[in-house]
A and B are shown apart, each in its own frame.
Chain A
Amino acid sequence: GESVGLHLPTLSVQEGDNSIINCAYSNSASDYFIWYKQESGKGPQFIIDIRSNMDKRQGQRVTVLLNKTVKHLSLQIAATQPGDSAVYFCAERRWGNTPLVFGKGTRLSVIA
């Protein structure tokens, strides 16, 4: 399928290494954050989420870190695999009962 974005920031990682994808958000009132993975030709797929009252949450091979002081969110992928190659989006809920606001995305390329 076609790429979802040709001019996205790209992170290239060797297979087996750990990946860290970063995201900055602008609204200090945002209280919920979520990471999605989008493979070529597919819709975004949920990876992990975190509320603002937490600073870390772990899933299977993935960890999300939240630093509210500097309004920074990161996704760590352990032992990166070729199947992890995709575009990764962070999203935030900015206030009240509002829909998610997505960032522009980062393309992760895994080198075998």
Chain B
Amino acid sequence: GAGVSQSPSNKVTEKGKDVELRCDPISGHTALYWYRQSLGQGLEFLIYFQGNSAPDKSGLPSDRFSAERTGGSVSTLTIQRTQQEDSAVYLCASSLQGPLLAGGESGANVLTFGAGSRLTVL
């Protein structure tokens, strides 16, 4: 597609349930990122995938969070046993390349974001 697509756009779930959020990046983009945005906060980095390299999971807040990227394209973020503090907007972004490498063209590293998936845990 022309942009980054995320689904569902809104998800309401009960505490303790598992949820899956999907991201379909821009075709040809090798890097994919997940960020979380809580009310009144900036964007909190969760995880990123770059090509076939092992993902950088350094931002995942707990072992209840996991993500995978199949075939170098679509990604799924899974939150197990959801808690109320997991309520947030989960944003996915993709870029032609990974985080900016020295000497690289900055345009290829600009993140294009999807509209996000708003998760509400009751």
Q: Does B4 contact A (CB under 8 A)?
A: yes
Report the contact-size class of chain B (Cβ under 8 Å from the partner): 20 to 34
Tell me the minimal C-beta distance from B33 to chain A in angstroms.
6
Query: Residue A42 contacts which of B35, B40, B102, B115 (CB distance < 8 angstroms)?
Result: B115
Bound Cα distance from A36 to B37, whole angstroms: 14
Query: Residue B39 contacts which of A6, A34, A98, A101 (CB distance < 8 angstroms)?
Result: A6
Q: Mark A71-100, 1 if CB is under 8 A from B, else 0.
A: 000000000000000000101010001111
Bound Cα distance from A8 to B37, whole angstroms: 13
Tell me the minimal C-beta distance from A53 to chain B in angstroms.
11
Which of B68-76, B78-86, B105-113 participates in binding chain A? B105-113
Q: Does A51 contact B (CB under 8 A)?
A: yes
Query: Residue B101 contacts which of A34, A42, A97 (CB distance < 8 angstroms)?
Result: A97
Tell me the minimal C-beta distance from A33 to chain B in angstroms.
10
Given A45-B113, A46-B110, A99-B33; A104-B42 close (CB under 8 Å): yes
Q: Is the CB of B99 within 8 A of A99?
A: yes
Q: Does B12 contact A (CB under 8 A)?
A: no
Tell me the minimal C-beta distance from A9 to chain B in angstroms.
11
Query: From A101, which residue of chain B is reached at the shortest CB distance?
Result: B45
Report the contact-size class of chain A (Cβ under 8 Å from the partner): 20 to 34
25 inter-chain pairs at a CB distance below 8 angstroms, sorted by A residue, are A4-B37, A4-B89, A6-B39, A6-B40, A7-B40, A8-B40, A31-B100, A31-B102, A41-B115, A42-B115, A43-B114, A44-B111, A44-B113, A51-B106, A89-B42, A89-B43, A91-B43, A93-B100, A97-B99, A99-B59, A100-B45, A102-B35, A102-B42, A102-B45, A103-B42
